[in-house]
Amino acid sequence: MNTEILGVIATYGLTLLLAWPLARYIVKVFKGDKVWSDFLLPIEKLFYKISGINPKEEMDWKQHMKALLTINLVWFVYAFFALFFQDKLPLNPDGNPGQSPDLAFNTAISFLVNCNLQHYSGETGVTYFTQLFVLAFLQFVSAATGIAALVVVFKAFKDKTVTNLGNFWEIFLKTITRILLPLSIVIAVILIFNGSPASFAGKDTIVTLQGDTVNVSRGPAAGFIAIKHLGTNGGGWFGANSAHPFENPSYVGFITEMVAQVVIPIAMVFALGMFIQRRKFANVIFAIMTIGMICLLIPTMQAEMAGNPALSHMGIQQLTGSMEGKEVRFGPAATGYWSTVTTIISTGSICGFHDSMMPMTGLMQLLGMMLNCLYGGCGVGILNYYIYIIIAVFISGLMVGRTPEFMGHKLEAREVKIAALITLLSPFLILAGTALAAYVLVHHPDADWAVKPGAWLNNPGYHGFSEMLYEVTSANANNGSGFEGLGDNNVFWNVSTGFILILGRYLPILGPVAIAGLMAKKKYVPESAGTLRTDSVTFGVMTFAVIVILNALSYFPALALGPIAEYFSLYK
């Protein structure tokens, strides 16, 4: 069998093997059982003491959300000013300038919400100080925010009738000290021994074998790369992200980063089943998510390995497949796999440029971000899937004529309204955002911004439209990858995607937590023969159908104008 495909299968298999024990560990950590990492308890106690936090103080869902939003606001203010004034701060060996206000706004939000759009380039747009003390810091805490929100929902599911759902600070801090930090160290060390730089040395100047003088950017990148994947953040140390040979130095590096980015999202699905002691419920969710991923993966790998038909016309060989914007050490199959995973789980790191991939691949990437619930980002993936479950329960209830119930609690008008609003939010932001961008491009091509709208697009025609659609979709999904040809560092994109990022992050966290919190307070209704079973395969298929129908209705027209039209013009 083809070694490239075998590499993909082995990487996915390894992820599953590691996700299971990780899930068991995560459950123990959040249940407060004894684990090996309990030696960190004194450090955590010290942190609570300095911060004036009582970790035993129970919170209801509203208090959780207040704490979450408050600390997020603090991070935003800190990040904005640090990026704006980075040229005056230490650790800037390459002498990079401060960011403009709109870029600092976008960068701060983008890292705050676990997205990492990066309208700058890592080598020139930030300093070692902001990379480490702002961006890497936000990569840790934004991932922990998502996981903490999910754990609150776990707790709401678990008990029959409950108001108190643990302490936000404790869940949040433990996510960092017990899960993200130890795993990051392991991942970073593997990368370091494969050739990723980790020292604080600045740019180096060398004379090449042929006699040219070139500069080589370096820096303490390895730790950044580790958390960018573990936390499903995706923002790169270098401009080329994980395609950069320092950022992703070998096939071992590829496997490491690939496993790192998807292991927590998968482990959280397993952890759900263990935590609430409904293994079958979680297994069905896992199966549906996996089937969804495979539906996106197969067309992607097929298209990339077949190569670019326009180059075939020119009469050259595409033995391995399409190579524009790809690296030899990964090859098209593995790069295709990465592109699928990075779009479904909201990482947004890349090991090959999405802008240069085949139209079919672009379609699958866009769909992955539009669904945004196949495994999904750290914590938030399951929250997104939960909304689809609520809709599916509601529709099934209507179909069979019974009051819909979920986890032993009645699902009533208020919860369904919240779920419906969250479901409508994504299409609204994506379609309205893209429409606005297209309007500005057509009617104000000469607007006096850093990049004039007339010069935004790197490619003509349908693909140019896809560049805008992709950017807005990526912002809404908090993904962070891009069709990077788009000239996005100007006031329009920085501000518009900044607001889409905020709405696309916090409402889809608040909504599911509110639903879970409201339902958990209700009277427990024991399961009977008349209860709709949510852990059956039938219900799994029902949820899948809901996901497909809702998204097809929302996005088909936009996709038809972009990648679908491009497909038919390229393969004519």
Partner 1 sequence: MKKYLLPSIKLTIVLVVLLGGIYPLLLAGIAKMAPGKGDGVTVMHNGKVVGYEQIAQKFTEDKYFWSRPSAVDYNAAGSGGSNKAPGNEDYLKIVQERIDTFLVHNPEVKKSEIPAELVTASASGLDPHLSPAAVYIQVARVAKARAISPEKIKQLVAANTKQPLLGMLGTPTVNVLKLNVALDELK
Of 83, 117, 341, 358, the one binding partner 1 by CB under 8 A: 358
Of 169, 270, 375, 394, the one binding partner 1 by CB under 8 A: 169
Of 204, 399, 402, 455, the one binding partner 1 by CB under 8 A: 204
CB-count exposure of residue 199 (10 Å: 0-12, 13-18, 19+)? exposed
Least distance from C-beta 500 to partner 1, angstroms? 22
Residue 170 within binding range of partner 1, rule CB under 8 A: no
DSSP string, 379-409: THHHHHHHHHHHHHHHHHHHHHTS--EETTE
The residue (of 216 and 432) whose beta carbon lies closer to partner 1 is: 216
Residue 189 within binding range of partner 1, rule CB under 8 A: yes
Residue 176 within binding range of partner 1, rule CB under 8 A: yes
Applying CB under 8 A, the span of 260-268, 405-413, 452-460, 535-543 interacting with partner 1 comes to: 452-460
> In this structure, are residues 92 and 55 in contact, taking their beta carbons and an 8 Å threshold?
no
The residue (of 135 and 297) whose beta carbon lies closer to partner 1 is: 135
Least distance from C-beta 465 to partner 1, angstroms? 11
Say which residue the tokens 């292991």 belong to.
263
Using CA atoms, how far residue 131 sits from 83, 97, 102, 322, 564, in Å, is 9, 13, 18, 33, 38
Interactions with partner 1, residue window 494-533 (CB under 8 A): none
Of 373, 463, 509, 564, the one binding partner 1 by CB under 8 A: 463
Least distance from C-beta 230 to partner 1, angstroms? 12
Residue 193 within binding range of partner 1, rule CB under 8 A: yes
Least distance from C-beta 110 to partner 1, angstroms? 18
How far apart CA 74 and CA 94 sit, in angstroms, is: 29
Other beta carbons less than 10 A from residue 251's beta carbon: 15
Interactions with partner 1, residue window 72-111 (CB under 8 A): 73-75, 78
Using CA atoms, how far residue 215 sits from 129, 224, 241, 247, in Å, is 21, 22, 18, 17
Residue 62 within binding range of partner 1, rule CB under 8 A: no
The residue (of 361 and 423) whose beta carbon lies closer to partner 1 is: 361
Applying CB under 8 A, the span of 262-270, 373-381, 482-490, 498-506 interacting with partner 1 comes to: 482-490
Residue 243 within binding range of partner 1, rule CB under 8 A: yes
Interactions with partner 1, residue window 258-277 (CB under 8 A): none
> In this structure, are residues 200 and 92 in contact, taking their beta carbons and an 8 Å threshold?
no
Interactions with partner 1, residue window 122-141 (CB under 8 A): 123-124, 132-134, 136-137, 140-141
> In this structure, are residues 162 and 59 in contact, taking their beta carbons and an 8 Å threshold?
no
| AA letter at 523 | K
How far apart CA 364 and CA 555 sit, in angstroms, is: 13
The residue (of 249 and 511) whose beta carbon lies closer to partner 1 is: 249
Interactions with partner 1, residue window 371-400 (CB under 8 A): none
Of 100, 290, 320, 531, the one binding partner 1 by CB under 8 A: 320
Of 197, 404, 504, 540, the one binding partner 1 by CB under 8 A: 197
Residue 251 within binding range of partner 1, rule CB under 8 A: yes
Q: Which two tokens stand for residue 291?
A: 């089937």
Of 34, 319, 523, 528, the one binding partner 1 by CB under 8 A: 319
CB-count exposure of residue 131 (10 Å: 0-12, 13-18, 19+)? buried
How far apart CA 22 and CA 29 sit, in angstroms, is: 11
> In this structure, are residues 315 and 263 in contact, taking their beta carbons and an 8 Å threshold?
no
How far apart CA 116 and CA 496 sit, in angstroms, is: 15
How far apart CA 197 and CA 193 sit, in angstroms, is: 9
| AA letter at 195 | G
Total number of residues that touch partner 1 (CB under 8 A): 117
Least distance from C-beta 301 to partner 1, angstroms? 14
Rounded (10°) angle between helices 491-520 and 413-443 = 170
How far apart CA 360 and CA 285 sit, in angstroms, is: 26
Give the chain's radius of gyration (CA, Å). Answer: 23
Residue 121 within binding range of partner 1, rule CB under 8 A: yes
How far apart CA 333 and CA 164 sit, in angstroms, is: 48
Least distance from C-beta 483 to partner 1, angstroms? 7
Interactions with partner 1, residue window 13-52 (CB under 8 A): 47, 50-52
Least distance from C-beta 372 to partner 1, angstroms? 24
Residue 6 within binding range of partner 1, rule CB under 8 A: yes
The residue (of 123 and 415) whose beta carbon lies closer to partner 1 is: 123
The residue (of 243 and 282) whose beta carbon lies closer to partner 1 is: 243
The residue (of 299 and 325) whose beta carbon lies closer to partner 1 is: 325
Other beta carbons less than 10 A from residue 58's beta carbon: 11
Of 34, 210, 400, 529, the one binding partner 1 by CB under 8 A: 210
Using CA atoms, how far residue 523 sits from 160, 163, 411, 520, in Å, is 8, 11, 11, 8
The residue (of 199 and 538) whose beta carbon lies closer to partner 1 is: 199
Strand partners for 215: 205
How far apart CA 519 and CA 521 sit, in angstroms, is: 5
